[in-house]
Chain A
Amino acid sequence: MSALESPAVSASGLAKRYGDVVAVAGIDFEVRRGECFGFLGPNGAGKTTTMRMIYRTAPPTAGTLSVLGLRAGPDDRAIKGLLGVVPQGDNLDEDLTVIENLLVYARFHGLAERRARQRAEELLRWVELDGRRDARVVTLSGGMKRRLTIARGLVGDPKMLVLDEPTTGLDPQVRHLIWQHVTALKARGVTLLLTTHYMEEAERLCDRLVVMDRGRIVACGAPRDLIAAHATPEVIEVFLDGEASADIAAAAGALCERKVVTADRVVLYARDPGAVASRFATRHVTRRPGTLEDVFLNLTGRRLEE
């Protein structure tokens, strides 16, 4: 298989242990070229560790891994040359200005001085930070820092961009701006690897995704297919008001295909949501479309963001 046809990422039995702690428990997945592939799961699911194994700063404990047709391990330097990484949180260089952050990384990627400058200016315009080119990083807002980190990840003109929790801690307005940038990159044919614990983000951006929990992959597929397989088009949530969840579950009866009880509510999945909702007409009930949150809930019994 030539490097061009090979998958963007191919992992089998990929595992990472820290002493007795299992961060990733032997997972298999394949990322296609040009797609946006997501890792959805709560904090501690093993998403970041998986990303770090892919961008080669965490040696796997077991398993085989190839990235863009290159072997993890012997080809690490070549792999890292083809990747762009936007790590979790911000690790921008605070000793440097905005443009220097890009210039320094351009040198790491081997760009000649003139090309580096050209690329840096181009990217600053794209993330709309050209007005702040000589500002110190500490003076930037959270959203600006994240945009700069994305620009920095693109400095080497990567074949694949890894985004680890790209919008965590940002307000909704900024989140939408980041999503626009990610969508634009996908249109350009850059393979995208994304971790998130926001189901809305995963649904909106990912062509396919895996759902991770406690170091394992519990489901894999396109968001729409996963929702169809593990949830219903519409979902009813009945909020607990002091009484036992069993009573509510019983009241819903055979109308529901599936019932999940969480700390403060009972989530009901039914083909005829109207009939179910009418049984709880006097109660605090929410009807909403099925989402990836339900997929996670049905597979693990827990909510994503708790």
Chain B
Amino acid sequence: MNLSLRCAVAVWQRNLTVYRHTYKLNLVPNFFEPVFYLLAMGVGLGSYVTLGSGEPYLHFLAPGLVAAAAMNGATFETTYNSFVRMTFQRTYEGMLTTPVSVDDIVVGELLWAVTRAIIYGGIFLVMVVLFGLIPPAAALLALPVVALCGAMFAALGQAFTAYVKNIEMYSWYYTMFLTPLFLFSGIFFPIEERFPPWAVKLAWLTPLYHAAGLMRAVAAGSFAVSDGVSLAYCVAVTVLLGAVALRTLRGRLLN
């Protein structure tokens, strides 16, 4: 791997410089989104829901939503934004005329996507704590899970982007991949209780299932062996898909 940490950080700083122009506009909605979700799904819909465990629905819902927020924050950066930088704005092309390598760009972009996941998921987490749904101590442990979830979806998005030729392809990624993950990863209902075993196995194979599960364990403060497996799963997907993104982009950007 041809990585200079200094150059990767410089790529990350470039995105931070852009963000300093835009954060005032997009930070406020970040605070409202969790509030809307918790009010509608938790307070509204949740009042009609009784879980087998007897747990209040709002408490059940909150951890998974934090994981989904981290997923969304990271995904947006390494899909649409990365694609625009690679094609329309020729940002990568320019970077590559300096000492920056393709590997530096990919690592810098992933670091930035994780940063966005931490900002986005972190704000969600703060609101969830303020609603009293996760104890503040657990929230401290939840932040690394937000980062890990962000890293995993950053790598997934970057690997997809490495192959994408047309920006319209992202509607497939979002609608056919992220939406089912959001709905069937055990965030809104315990999937094991409602779906046949084969569907549960299918859900087990997908990434958000593990990130949401980890977040739930952290929020509850109780861990099982399966949580260790989930942790390993998230790390493995991040490394594997990160490697795919690297390999593919080396060939695509240097040609």
Contacts and interface: CB of A to CB of B under 8 A. Distances in A.
Interface of A: 18, 55-59, 76-77, 80-81, 83, 85, 87, 91-96, 100, 103-105, 107-110, 156
B96 interface: yes
B4 A77 contact: yes
Interface string B84-104: 000001110111111111000
A95 B18 contact: yes
Contacts of A91: 89-91, 93-94
Contacts of B18: 95-96
Interface stretch (B5-13, B54-62, B153-161, B236-244): B5-13
B21 A108 contact: no
Interface of B: 2, 4, 6-7, 10-11, 13-14, 17-18, 21, 89-91, 93-101, 253-255
A81 B253 CA distance: 19
Nearest to A76: B101
B89 A94 contact: yes
Given A87-B93, A93-B89, A95-B89, A109 B99 contact: yes
A80 B98 contact: yes
B17 A104 contact: yes
B13 A107 contact: yes
Given A80-B98, A109-B98, A110-B99, A57 B21 contact: no
Nearest to B84: A95
A55 B98 CA distance: 9
Contacts, number: 70
Given A80-B98, A83-B97, A91-B93, A57 B4 contact: no
Contact of A81 (B90, B94, B99): B99
Contacts of B100: 80, 108
A87 B91 CA distance: 12
Nearest to A82: B99
A105 B89 contact: no
- Residue of B21, B90, B95, B98 contacting most chain A CB atoms (<10 Å): B98
A231 to B, nearest CB: 36
Contacts of B96: 56-57, 80
A105 B11 CA distance: 10
Given A83-B97, A93-B89, A95-B21, 16 more contacts: A57-B93, A58-B254, A59-B254, A59-B255, A76-B101, A80-B99, A81-B98, A85-B98, A91-B89, A94-B89, A100-B17, A103-B17, A104-B10, A108-B95, A110-B99, A156-B98
